Chains A and B, each alone.
Chain A
Amino acid sequence: MPPVITATLYFIIFGNLIGGRIGQMGGFTYLQYIAPGLIMMSVITNSYGNVVSSFFGAKFGRHIEELLVSPLPNWLIVLGYVAGGMLRGLLVGLIVTIIALFFTRLHVEHLFVVIAAVLLTSIVFALGGFVNAVFARNFDQITFVPTFILTPMTYLGGVFYSISMLPEWAQAVSKANPILYMVSAFRYGFLGQSDVDVGFSFAIMTLSVVVLFAACVWLMEKGTGTRE
């Protein structure tokens, strides 16, 4: 429910009130331009948040021990939590998409790119949430990353604007932000235009998935944050 309200507010404020004054973005209305960004933002925060809270909750309530004592292999435990986070992230993403449809007409240029980008992104952030939860020792540490790192990075990742509108140096900085590549690839699927190379975007996402997954399984094997 909260993500629905947030998304609706974003669409009203940015889309209708401000968007009307901004005018066209690469041949699309501002609302059409930011809709993919807003969908992606909700997928990112919810995939991440779901895994962080459920894994940290299991650590805090000690029922993670049920899994650790059982013969489940660590990769399967990681996969289970990631699947939960993806489900949540994608579900919210879908709801936000439906809300977007009340405000504007969504044009889809490359459906496959849309799906692949959103799937990979939610895996990346579900895994990210897992890493966060593994290291977290208290509640502050599970809110720190989402508030101070994830949210700014998402906002600066081209959700609301095209980086081509930025000065040269800011564009260079933005390109170090992995979220930019995800949002751009996703937007490319809808609008057919992107700030960055889409192939490169997918390479980054795939690489992130592989590295993060390996890191998660390794952390579980080692027992960091879960075993004494």
Chain B
Amino acid sequence: MKALSLRQLCKTYNNGVQALKGIDLDVEEGDFFALLGPNGAGKSTAIGIVSSLVNKSSGTVTVFGHSIDSELEAAKSCLGVVPQEINFNQFEKVSTILLNQAGFYGIPRPVARERMEYWLNQLQLWEKRETISRSLSGGMKRRLMIARALIHEPRLLILDEPTAGVDIEVRRSMWEFLRRINEQGTTIILTTHYLEEAESLCRHIAIIDEGRIIENDRMSTVLRKLQTETFVLNLRGPLRGTLSLPGYRVTAPDETTLEVEVNKEQNLNEIFVALTAAGGEVVSMRNKSNRLEELFMRLVEGRDVGSGQPVSAPTAQAGAWPVPSPRRAVLQPQRPRPRAGSVSRQSSSANSVASCASGARRWCRRSLRRRCTSSSSAT
């Protein structure tokens, strides 16, 4: 059963902006699906159409087999939506918001109270139930919207950037929470700009750019498309000898840091051998950037070169060699921690990669801008 199915979905806003240019997308029941794309790609527009907040220009949408054209109410009852922007009545109490929402779905009051208690506890908001929602913190408001979206226990939960402006600890607990409800059977579609989040949570991804889907596959398949990967090695002290690594691209941002680009044919052993020969002692090692992020940049940046066509097997771009800057180091997103059950993915990472520095830098700048805007709108 398909939880969501979009066919040739198009949207042109009144001001002439063509936000969606014929999107086809299928999300299976039980899936955990990431919808990614740069700002203005059309993610929220697509979600808006599915949740009937935006009128589509053409195309079809079915939710669990119910077309939004012919069986709108049935489609709507399967759906829970956490929008990108706050849209509850900021003058009402947390409990009132949830109970009203339950009322809109025809849930009897006593059941609604039970569920409210359950979901508020799950989202650590139970103590705040009597608070006027306006005085919640930004992260609490997001969680309130999640509780609100779940009170009628929808089969499909769509979250538009649920973790924007949320602190790391809450974000992690939100991930756990989403994983749990997904395991319990709720299909989840998520948009996010934190690609590590998508990588760690989702089984399928679609990347949308300028109103078109440019990638749509299993997460593991998509990640395997990465050809090269850059590792950052931290040394205990400066190298005593000269490092000889023919065929590898190596840079040294400073005396005790090396960045090595490794492609699918190469391996890490040679690097360690050469480092040992040069008297280097490696104390730690990490991926230079999130793998999904590297792929994302290749696909999205590909449009600048190849007019919006997917670049499925990217090759190292000339002139894309990293020029390390302190700003970039600060903006670097966190590394995903290796997890149990991700063995196949982890091993495939050994032969994946990329440098794509200019792109990544642009990405970082964008995500910085994003974070700024989201935090300012939360205040």
Q: Do A and B bind each other?
A: yes
Report A's interface with B, CB cutoff 8 A: 58, 61-63, 65-73, 223, 227-228
C-alpha gap A70/B86 in the complex (Å): 16
C-alpha gap A88/B81 in the complex (Å): 32
Contact present for A69 and B55 (CB under 8 Å): no
Contact present for A70 and B87 (CB under 8 Å): no
Specify the chain A residue showing the minimal Cβ separation from B100: A66
B126 at the interface (CB under 8 A from A): no
B315 at the interface (CB under 8 A from A): no
Binds A, one of B71-79, B225-233, B327-335, B347-355: B71-79
Specify the chain B residue showing the minimal Cβ separation from A74: B72
Contact present for A66 and B87 (CB under 8 Å): yes
Q: Which residues of A contact B83 (CB under 8 A)?
A: 65
Specify the chain A residue showing the minimal Cβ separation from B80: A69
C-alpha gap A227/B79 in the complex (Å): 18
Partner of A65, one of B14, B55, B87: B87
Nearest CB in chain B: distance from A182 CB, A: 33
Q: A61-B87, A66-B100 are in contact. List 6 more A-B contacts (CB 8 A).
A: A62-B87, A71-B104, A227-B52, A227-B53, A228-B48, A228-B54
28 CB < 8 A contacts A-B = A61-B87, A61-B89, A63-B87, A63-B88, A65-B87, A66-B87, A66-B88, A66-B100, A66-B101, A66-B104, A68-B52, A68-B53, A69-B51, A69-B52, A69-B76, A69-B79, A71-B72, A71-B76, A71-B77, A71-B104, A72-B104, A223-B55, A227-B52, A227-B53, A227-B54, A228-B14, A228-B53, A228-B55
Contact present for A70 and B90 (CB under 8 Å): no
C-alpha gap A69/B234 in the complex (Å): 51
Q: Which residues of A contact B183 (CB under 8 A)?
A: none
Most chain B C-beta atoms within 10 Å of own C-beta, residue among A62, A65, A71: A71
Q: Which residues of A contact B148 (CB under 8 A)?
A: 66
Q: Which residues of A contact B72 (CB under 8 A)?
A: 71
Q: Which residues of A contact B53 (CB under 8 A)?
A: 65, 68-69, 227-228
Q: Which residues of A contact B104 (CB under 8 A)?
A: 66-67, 70-72
Partner of A70, one of B76, B85, B91: B76
Contact present for A63 and B48 (CB under 8 Å): no
Most chain A C-beta atoms within 10 Å of own C-beta, residue among B48, B54, B81, B89: B89
Contact present for B73 and A71 (CB under 8 Å): yes
Contact present for A62 and B101 (CB under 8 Å): no
Number of A-B contacts (CB under 8 A): 53
Q: Which residues of B contact A72 (CB under 8 A)?
A: 104
Report B's interface with A, CB cutoff 8 A: 13-14, 48, 51-55, 72-74, 76-77, 79, 81, 83, 85-91, 100-101, 104-105, 148
Contact present for A73 and B73 (CB under 8 Å): yes
C-alpha gap A127/B53 in the complex (Å): 23
Q: Which residues of B contact A62 (CB under 8 A)?
A: 85-87
Nearest CB in chain B: distance from A131 CB, A: 19
Nearest CB in chain A: distance from B363 CB, A: 28
Contact present for A228 and B13 (CB under 8 Å): yes
Q: Which 6 A-B pairs have the closest CB atoms?
A: A70-B104, A62-B87, A71-B76, A71-B73, A63-B89, A228-B54
C-alpha gap A223/B53 in the complex (Å): 8
Nearest CB in chain B: distance from A13 CB, A: 36
C-alpha gap A223/B90 in the complex (Å): 23
In the complex with contacts A62-B85, A62-B86, A63-B89, A70-B105 CB distance below 8 A: yes
Nearest CB in chain A: distance from B321 CB, A: 44
Q: Which residues of A contact B55 (CB under 8 A)?
A: 223, 227-228
Nearest CB in chain B: distance from A133 CB, A: 16
C-alpha gap A69/B81 in the complex (Å): 8
Q: Which residues of B contact A227 (CB under 8 A)?
A: 52-55
C-alpha gap A223/B55 in the complex (Å): 8
Nearest CB in chain A: distance from B151 CB, A: 11
C-alpha gap A227/B48 in the complex (Å): 9
Nearest CB in chain B: distance from A206 CB, A: 29
